[in-house]
């Protein structure tokens, strides 16, 4: 059995008894990591270990996957930038331990949101004639 495997319910019934099957992904993966996240985060020539197991009857299947090549296409630049900023904000918020600081930050964000639509509406009416 993999020692640091992620254990997630799988959309499959056990071929031996029909019971629920779990999927374990490893090695060296946090317990909250899903198979799709592991595959998307994999590096070229990386080996992934996957174990499907039935806890009712003990049936088990082990597979090793190797990433031969990775091809990516360019994504939406705005979506990529938004994801980067959200990750940065999340990291900052996790580092803040004072509840008052988080409450003040949330209040500031809400104030900014209330002001933004008014600023955006005025900019849309402006035409550039040069």
Q: What is the dihedral sign for C-alpha 16, 21, 22, 25?
A: positive
* β-bridge partners, 65: 48
- The pLDDT value recorded for residue 124 is 53
Q: What is the pLDDT of residues 25-51, one digit of tens each?
A: 877 776 566 888 888 888 888 888 888
Does 9 or 20 have the greater pLDDT score?
20
Q: Confidence class of residue 57 from pLDDT cuts 50, 70 and 90?
A: very high
Q: What phi-psi label fits residue 58: left (phi over 0), alpha (psi between -120 and 50 degrees) or beta?
A: left
- The pLDDT value recorded for residue 80 is 80
Question: Helices (DSSP H) in the chain: which residue ranges?
Answer: 35-41, 77-95, 99-124
- Give every CB contact of residue 64 below 8 A, 6+ residues apart in sequence: 47, 48, 49, 50
- Rounded CA separation 61/51 (Å): 6
Q: What six digits make up the tokens of 76?
A: 């939406």
**pLDDT beyond 70 at 130:** no
Q: What is the pLDDT of residues 74-123, one digit of tens each?
A: 777 888 888 888 888 888 888 888 888 888 888 998 999 898 876 555 55
């Amino acid at each position: 059995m993999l020692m640091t495997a992620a254990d997630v319910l799988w959309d499959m019934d056990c071929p031996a008894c029909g019971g629920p099957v779990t999927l374990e992904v490893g090695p060296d993966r946090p317990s909250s990591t899903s198979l799709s996240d592991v595959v998307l985060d994999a590096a070229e020539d990386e080996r992934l270990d996957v174990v499907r197991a039935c806890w009712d009857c003990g049936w088990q299947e082990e597979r090793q996957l190797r990433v031969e090549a990775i091809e990516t296409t360019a994504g939406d630049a705005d979506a990529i930038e938004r994801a980067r900023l959200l990750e940065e904000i999340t990291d900052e918020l996790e580092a803040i331990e004072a509840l008052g600081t988080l409450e003040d930050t949330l209040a500031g964000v809400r104030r900014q949101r209330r002001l933004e639509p008014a600023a955006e509406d005025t900019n849309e009416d402006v035409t550039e004639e040069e």
